[in-house]
Amino acid sequence: MKVGRRSFMAGSAAVAMAARASGAIKPDWASLGEVYQAPDWFRDAKFGIWAHWSAQCVPEFGEWYGRLMYVQGSPTYQHHLDHYGHPADHGFLEIEGAWKAEEWNPEALIALYKKAGAKYFMALASHHDNLDTWASSHHAWNTTRIGPKRDIIGTWEKAVRAAGLRFGVSNHSSHAWHWWQTAYGYDAEGPRQGQRYDAFKLRKADGKGTWWEGLDPQDLYTGAWYPAPEGITSIKAMDAWHEAHDGQWLEDSPPAPAGFVANWLARQNELVDKYRPDIVYLDDTGIPFGEAGLSAVAHYYDRSKEWHGKVDVAITGKKLTDIQRRAVMEDIERGYSDHLREEPWQTCTCIGDWHYNRQRFLDKSYVPAIQVIQRLCDVVSKNGNLLLSIPVRGNGTIDSEEEKIVAGITAWMDVNGAAIHGSRPWRIYGEGPTKLGDGMFGEAKFNGFQPEDVRFTVKDGVLHMVLLQWPTGPVRVPSLGSGALKGAKIARATLLGGGSVEVRQDTDAALFTLPPAKPGQIVPVLRLDGAGLV
């Protein structure tokens, strides 16, 4: 059974054609590459904080709640059953309506993040659950009509601009059409076996007398592109069916007329036009939807030229080819670069789950401040920026454990920020025994840095060396030997926030002896002075 076409699917390619005709920049990789270069503000910023905040934070059960609550046998499904009821009766649209953000104080959060050294802030505009968190003209399921009844993006934007930070938005909605297919399924086992979940059943008329009266659930859930067939009678078989039919991370359009893509493009362009973001994060390999996606990039760059007189913005994609890296910025999600990159780039990661998970607070399993700082220094030494998500509760607050981590970042930045903000890479990124894999999702395999792992940055003609662990004895650095430096001498080594550090420079290496760490001190940074070092 196929769900009928929805109203937002109308217009086919007309929106994309209008967008292509509206600007001077052609929507192709070569033309985009001719006008784009990483903005100086981004290269100076180095550190951003992200509120990856949406209705999926309401259950406080971690990421991808909307999709996984419809997967029988998963922990998320069981949590939903225990706390809300069966997904045939109480679907995710009810969670969207339950999001109230009743304790949200954006000005206070932005002030906290600015103090921690963040130079830009990213706000989630639409996740895979297809709820727009702004005053969307092209999608009725938005937070001005349901849930918080507020323009979340517009409110963030005002607070961020008032604090003097750069503002970004993230758009993940290109994946909604395949991400939501589990909501059109059913239990394969148990007392509700075969009863379809809410997305399969609900239509606009069913909302009469409810809080969502006048809205069409199919506009939220996108339609049953791959509805599970009748008669699957085991959880294992249902999982296998989903894996085969809708479990892939797809970047193309749904197998139907182009309405979904046209609507995505209209929403993306409106997001740019209304809020003038300095950076847009797309959660896509490359840019989604071929020419329509390139039209969105061209539109954004055209608008930047209107606003700033030049392309002074960035838009991200993942797993980019060489030609794509010249046109948009590469983002490496939860992973590493193993080399100093020619083009500025960004890595995005999180101290917990992408959406708030209360268990992280209860068992104190957040990523600690020291690992955030280590990651920041590694990324910056390789010509990148760190975008760090601090998960926000459904009510709009962060918890006390998260506050401690932000305080730890703040304390380190107060002493060592001079080696980060406005810096540039040295001739090499660093050295040390720890080898990092290159690419996305490498965090789970990482076992930690050693005192011999050092990273370099340069600012205002000064070389800084970061030791990623505080050493308990002398540290030998071959890349700073007089031989490697072609005779250049280290005249003085100074611990930021401390005093002079003993250094002996031989031909094959320089040897540094630091004082023991004081309570709370992490990741020491040395300022190295001497002619010819940079």
* Per-residue pLDDT tens digits for 20-34: 445 699 999 999 999
Q: pLDDT value at position 68?
A: 97
Surface-to-core class of residue 135, CB atoms within 10 Å of its CB (0-12 exposed, 13-18 middle, 19+ buried): middle
| 8 Å CB contact between 477 and 510 | yes
| 8 Å CB contact between 152 and 133 | yes
pLDDT in tens, 315-362: 999 999 999 999 999 999 999 999 999 999 999 999 999 999 999 999
Q: How far apart are CA 242 and CA 307, in angstroms?
A: 45
Q: What is the mean pLDDT of residues 291-302?
A: 97
Indicate the residue type of 340: L
Nearest Cα residue to 290 out of 240, 251, 329, 326: 251
Q: pLDDT value at position 4?
A: 32
Query: 76 pLDDT exceeds 70?
Result: yes
Q: pLDDT value at position 13?
A: 42
Q: What is the mean pLDDT of residues 253-269?
A: 90
Task: Give φ, ψ of 19 to 5 degrees.
Answer: -65, -40
Residues 6+ apart with CB under 8 A from 161: 167
Q: How far apart are CA 129 and CA 181, in angstroms?
A: 11
| 8 Å CB contact between 305 and 299 | no
Is residue 327 helix, strand or coil?
coil
Q: pLDDT value at position 445?
A: 86
Nearest Cα residue to 261 out of 280, 285, 288: 288
| 8 Å CB contact between 323 and 296 | no
Cβ neighbours, 10 Å, residue 292: 24
Q: How far apart are CA 437 and CA 91, in angstroms?
A: 40
Cβ neighbours, 10 Å, residue 38: 15
Question: H helices within 235-290, ranges in order?
Answer: 235-245, 259-275
| 8 Å CB contact between 426 and 463 | yes
Q: pLDDT value at position 22?
A: 53
Q: What is the mean pLDDT of residues 388-400?
A: 98
Mean pLDDT of the chain: 94
DSSP string covering 368-421, please?
PHHHHHHHHHHHHHTTEEEEEE----TTS---HHHHHHHHHHHHHHHHHGGGTT
Nearest Cα residue to 156 out of 225, 110, 115: 110
State the residue for tokens 């050295």. 431
What does DSSP assign to residue 446?
Answer: -
pTM: 0.95
- Cα dihedral value 38, 42, 48, 54, nearest 10: -50
Q: How far apart are CA 72 and CA 185, in angstroms?
A: 10
